Structure 1
Amino acid sequence: MRAEVQAAPFIDREEAQRARNAKLERIGRWVLPIAIMILAIWLWDRLCVWYEIPQYILPRPGVVASTLVSDAPLLFTSLLVTLKITLLSLLLAVVGGVGLAVLFTQSKWVEMSFFPFAIVLQVTPIVAIFPLINIYVDNQTAKLLICSWIVAFFPILSNTTLGLNSVDRNLIDLFRLNGASRWQQLRFLRLPAAMPYFLGGLKIAGGLSLIGAVVAEFVAGASGQSSGLASRIIEAGYRLNAPRLFAALILISAAGIVIFLVLTLVSHLILRRWHESALSAER
């Protein structure tokens, strides 16, 4: 009895230490990246001052921030154009990827017949495909949308197909023994089991759709007031307007981060009540 009383404070100290470590980890998860970012910006500014780097080669962070404010109407209009292409291509990739993955699951012959074509689209550089798209498609927005969709399509198709085919065979046999139809197996077993795989592919495709939209505009050489951020970067590069170039790059990076965070939040909200990956994060 006395030994148990003596052991209790030791256990309490261990639990208190674990609680402190968990708290420090939660704080460090936000503080450390912010501190490193501030340090990197300060070092960037100091390098420009110490080595007297011209503004048209490497502008100081303050100059980039002022350009971001002064050129906001132009840059944010271009950002909306890029985001429109990104989100539309991601939506089409989700619809096409999930639909085709379900079709592959229902028929192995269909999967064996068409999956190689999806691989060909994935491994072929978009700069090699674009000349054909440029010949067959007249609308500039449609060209960019197709290029961005090609880049974002395969991760969703591949991950969803993997998830639909990774269902426990014992559960499939159980459904069949209870007379479940193929639709019931798909709805109540395969789709829920594939959800973590699909959401993982969705987070990958979200970033790739933005990359695809920017690369497509670079390749297309789009220009004008209604063009995206890639055109602003090309235009700023030709004019040696490095502050605007950096400002456009910052907007693209910020858009990618926001897309990733939103999709991560969506994934967490869907999985948090039942999937181990989300449950362990809340413990």
Structure 2
Amino acid sequence: MIAPVVIGVLVLALWEFAVRWNEVPSYVLPGPLLVAQTLVADWGTLSGSLWVTLKITFMALAAAVVVGVTLAVLFSQSKWLEMALLPYAVILQVTPVVAIAPLIIIWADDIDLSLLICAWIVAFFPILSNTILGLNSADHNLVNLFELYGASRWQTLRYLKLPAALPYFLAGLKISGGLALIGAVVAEFVAGTGGSASGLAYRILEAGYQLKIPRVFAALVMISLSGVAIFLATSLISHLLLRRWHESAIRREN
């Protein structure tokens, strides 16, 4: 922890020094101290918007987990189904959400639902692809052993394939957590909704129009810290679930 903290402090100190030495106006580039002061002063407004953004993020991540894992299990049980539907999941993933967000907003006719759909689209594919890879990575010798002892497809899935897929699923979860937050913010930018129930993206747009650049930086800091917190939370979940049996977690402990 010492090295990144020291580097971060040095960068912030140089940033503050450069802003003060060159007398850069705050509407061009505020210093870290002014950003921190703005974060404290505007906490009441920004924290409410942060909760709106995080609510969409967590709902999209939960939907991505449910749909992604369900489809991955179905695909592992039916190769025909995988070949028929997986290409459409790839198309959905590679289509820029910024391009289709206006259409989703029009079709959904509900801002919260449209934001949820946009964030879900971004977060869905990593969980699907990683879980499929994990289900297909089960040791074929063990699969043959299960078949030899007359295990049903459900028993093979429950006792062999799902445990084998767990590390891959958790890796996809860590990726999708950050992507869900990005998707929620991007969707809010496109929607441009205001009012008391608006997310942090709208607060950034609003502050930018009013040249309140310190508030823009304060909102960006909140988004970045939220993304770091989501990554740390998913990493902790992964560690707790894998530490007693999976090789990667055992090596870390030793």
Give the structure-1-normalised TM-score: 0.89
Structure 2 residue 210 is matched with structure 1 residue 239: yes
Where 1:240 maps in the other structure, the secondary structure is: coil
Aligned-pair Cα RMSD in Å? 0.6
> Counterpart of 1:14?
none
- Residues 90-169 of structure 1 aligned to structure 2 (within 5 Å): 90-169=61-140
Report the Cα distance in structure 1 between the residues aligned to 2:124 and 2:27, rounded to whole angstroms: 38
Report the Cα distance in structure 2 between the residues aligned to 1:193 and 1:144, rounded to whole angstroms: 33
Flag structure 2 segments of 5+ consecutive residues without an equivalent: none
Give yes or no for contact 2:102–2:190 (8 Å, CA) kept in 1. Answer: no
For these two proteins, the number of residue pairs brought into alignment is 254
Offset, 1:128: 1.4
Among the aligned pairs, what percent are the same residue?
63
| 1:177-218 residue CA offsets vs partner (Å, 9 max, x unmatched) | 001000000000000000000000000000000000000101
Offset, 1:110: 0.4
Report the Cα distance in structure 2 between the residues aligned to 1:160 and 1:86, rounded to whole angstroms: 20
> Counterpart of 1:68?
39
Report the Cα distance in structure 2 between the residues aligned to 1:138 and 1:202, rounded to whole angstroms: 29
Give yes or no for contact 2:123–2:180 (8 Å, CA) kept in 1. Answer: yes
Larger radius of gyration: 1
Of 198, 216, 219, which aligns to 1:227? 198
> Counterpart of 2:252?
281
> Counterpart of 1:210?
181
Report the Cα distance in structure 2 between the residues aligned to 1:41 and 1:232, rounded to whole angstroms: 24
Report the Cα distance in structure 1 between the residues aligned to 2:102 and 2:48, rounded to whole angstroms: 27
Counterpart residue type for residue 226 of structure 2: A
Report the Cα distance in structure 1 between the residues aligned to 2:201 and 2:11, rounded to whole angstroms: 25
Deviant stretches of 4+, over 6 Å: none
> Counterpart of 1:195?
166
Flag structure 1 segments of 5+ consecutive residues without an equivalent: 1-29
Report the Cα distance in structure 2 between the residues aligned to 1:55 and 1:116, rounded to whole angstroms: 49
Offset, 1:60: 1.4
> Counterpart of 1:49?
20
Offset, 1:135: 2.1
Counterpart residue type for residue 107 of structure 1: S
> Counterpart of 1:172?
143
